[in-house]
Structure 1
Amino acid sequence: MDFVIRLQELAERVRQAKDLVLTEEATKTALILPFLHALGYDVFNPAEVVPEYTADVGFKTREKVDFAIMREGQMVMLIECKSYGSTLDPGKCGQLMRYFNATPSARIGILTDGVRYLFFTDADNTPNIMDLSPFMEFDVASPDESLIPELRKLTKSKWDVDAAMSAAAELKYTRAIKELLGSELLSPSDEFVRLFAKKVCSGSLTSRVLDVFAGRVKRAFQQLVHDQINSRLKTAMAVPQTTAHDPEIKTETQESKDAESSVVTTVEELEGYHIVKSILRRTIDPKRIAMRDTLSYCGVLLDDNNRKPICRLHFNGKQKYVGFFNAAKDEERIPIASVDDIYAHADRLKETIGYYVPVEPEDKDV
């Protein structure tokens, strides 16, 4: 099964189970072990996943870390678990840090509450000295599509820790810069205000002037974000709407090369596409399900064929719609509140596949 589909199924499971988990042991069983399984590790094989990994660390003896992942007899990943909803403070994972620092084969340290996973390595320091801040944070209940390729490098089948570590510094500092920019956007610091004020103001930057410019900088950033969102919406709305009866003609005749270069596939569109693949995985080979994005909608096709539309994701506006097709290829747009609502229309998607290929009844026991 495709790794992305496994993560989508795990996300749904975690969303349903997390509020029922009340203890750390329940967190391990209901949330963390399924995550390790999704990464491809055999959680029932102590040669791969070692619970309560014990060793002597410096002056402390018989300390335990919750899980250790083994490869070729070497411990490569350490996982410290907290009960769901606990504050994940990187400064208070001393046990994980001691193990990491004392184990030459350790490459990755993970601090988790079963939903949020903080990934650490030694990108900043000498080998085997764990960094104080994580290089990646992954929320299983709401996966960030941009981080899935990095997470894939830590799976059993695609293990490439060297590539993961080479990307760690980039991920870590990009994340830190994004957080800093977000903080400055909400409440600009004096240094940030001064940086812009001295480029546009020729006068003396007194305290009073800086106070005035603090509001101007904040409003300018907010306006910039607003303008970029507005520009994208105008671009999407400028594309003529497709006729309801012939969905494939629009894609073939109106998508010029210039329009294609303006298409930006969003995280929600990717999530919707993978949900459709997950729903249909037992109905049709997932490899036959393709995505083709346009300015006005994101199309999901069978065999990447415009004449075999499965559905359309209309996610550009404030109200999201999913377009479903009947045997005559008439499109019916159904409003949804969130991407997860696509699961409620699983039967409609399976029915559409039946228009193109014979569909065998599903084996409910599989």
Structure 2
Amino acid sequence: MEFSDRLNALAAKVANQKSAIQTEEATKNAFIMPFISSILGYDVFNPLEVVPEFTADVGLKRGEKIDYAILRDGEVQILLECKASVGHLKFEHASQLFRYFAVTNARVAVLTNGEVYQFYTDLDAPNRMDDKPFLVLDLADIDESIVPELRKLTKENFDLDSIISAAEELKYVGAIKRAIGEQFREPSDDWIKFFTSRVYGGAFTQKVREQFTALVSKASKQFLSDQVNDRLKTALGASGYTPSLDSQPAAVTSAPVAEKDLDRDTEVETTLEELEGYQIVKAIACSEVKPSRIANRDAKSYFAVLLDDNNRKPIARLHFNGQKQKYLGLFDENKVEVRHAIESLDGIYEHADAIREAVRRYRG
């Protein structure tokens, strides 16, 4: 099994079992040990490679333990500190990592709850762990750009020099991407002022700030919408798909993504890829009904496409969730879902007849 496939398999396991895991020990057994073995490639039952409950005396603290130490040639290379998957990771959880990092030969430290893995090194000061990770792996939303760097930490491809040399760029690029995402979700005063100063010549008063808060938020969502639709047009053109004469092609190819699709007040994060997939399903389905009747609802495990925004009228489900292997869920006459593996968004067009048939069953 390829590295990315193993990563996606573990991500699927975490998604399916997370609700049943309530303790730190259960998190270690169900998620973290499989990560060390199947992803990093180390034998968790070989004490020459992986030492659980690793002990090193730190100053006045005696007998303090770190959850796992990974060894190569008898030297500690990677330290892992684990927390229960039911909670979010906080920087104060890394206190033991800080102490151990300074007294071992480890150059990489990992703080994890089994779903999110934060990787640290010592870019800011030698032998002192940085307070910000240089790489963050979120199994609920895998960033494909970091997978090659993660591979360098595996037993087979371990390349510490390459990891450290790339760490600074990874650290800041990743942090900037996360900061931009936060600003799109909830713009700060500085972000609002930054854009206001470029389009408005007057004083930045409280009244102006309130006015432009809404305008900046709206412009941000429209920008994302435009990016989705530009990519959708490219996909439609590349696929060779031509809607039937009664399918209102202008509405299909140029209608912007509804703002509500990008403005859901929920923990679920809708991706551009899911919105593109939705627009393709909508393009196919509107040969049977008006485009306005095709709606979507995002959930943690799938993105649903519905007729009349009715859960009893499912057309399709997009199982993407940042994973390499994508699935298109389609429904039979008994509303039983069958998943079909697709290599890319263009694969949706191969199931156009089934999508139209689902719409015909509900349209009335």
TM-score tier after normalising by the smaller chain length: 0.5 to 0.7
TM-score normalised over the length of structure 1: 0.65
**Where do 1:1-366 residues align within 5 Å?**
1-38=1-38, 39-103=40-104, 105-123=105-123, 125-239=124-238, 241=240, 315=277, 317-319=279-281, 336-339=317-320, 341=327
CA contact (8 A) 1:320 1:337 kept: no
CA contact (8 A) 1:27 1:114 kept: yes
- Report the RMSD for the aligned CA atoms in angstroms: 3.0
1:307-338 deviation per Cα after TM superposition (whole angstroms, max 9, x unaligned): xxxxxxx94735399xxxxxxxxxxxx95531
* Letter paired with 2:190: E
1:67-108 deviation per Cα after TM superposition (whole angstroms, max 9, x unaligned): 0000111101001111221221122321111101222x1111
Question: 1:143 and 1:13 mapped to 2: Cα distance?
Answer: 14
Paired-residue identity, %: 45
CA contact (8 A) 2:110 2:120 kept: yes
* Letter paired with 1:77: I
CA contact (8 A) 1:49 1:68 kept: yes
Q: Following TM superposition, by how much is the alpha carbon of 1:22 offset from its aligned partner in structure 2, in angstroms? A: 2.9
Question: 2:16 and 2:197 mapped to 1: Cα distance?
Answer: 52
Q: Following TM superposition, by how much is the alpha carbon of 1:208 offset from its aligned partner in structure 2, in angstroms? A: 2.8
Q: Following TM superposition, by how much is the alpha carbon of 1:164 offset from its aligned partner in structure 2, in angstroms? A: 1.5
| Pair 1:197–1:92, CA change in 2 (3 A) | same
CA contact (8 A) 1:69 1:76 kept: yes
Q: Following TM superposition, by how much is the alpha carbon of 1:2 offset from its aligned partner in structure 2, in angstroms? A: 2.0
Question: 1:25 and 1:139 mapped to 2: Cα distance?
Answer: 20
Question: 2:339 and 2:185 mapped to 1: Cα distance?
Answer: 39
Q: Give the match's secondary structure for 2:63.
A: strand
Q: Following TM superposition, by how much is the alpha carbon of 1:170 offset from its aligned partner in structure 2, in angstroms? A: 1.7
* Letter paired with 2:279: G
Q: Give the match's secondary structure for 1:134.
A: coil
Number of residue pairs the alignment of both structures matches: 265
TM-score normalised over the length of structure 2: 0.65
Question: 1:3 and 1:347 mapped to 2: Cα distance?
Answer: 19
Q: Following TM superposition, by how much is the alpha carbon of 1:202 offset from its aligned partner in structure 2, in angstroms? A: 3.0
| Pair 1:171–1:316, CA change in 2 (3 A) | farther
Q: Give the match's secondary structure for 1:166.
A: helix
Question: 2:168 and 2:342 mapped to 1: Cα distance?
Answer: 45
Structure 1 unaligned segments of length 5 or more: list them: 244-313, 322-333, 350-366
Structure 2 unaligned segments of length 5 or more: list them: 243-275, 284-314, 321-325, 330-337, 344-364
Q: Following TM superposition, by how much is the alpha carbon of 1:166 offset from its aligned partner in structure 2, in angstroms? A: 2.0
Question: 1:115 and 1:32 mapped to 2: Cα distance?
Answer: 9
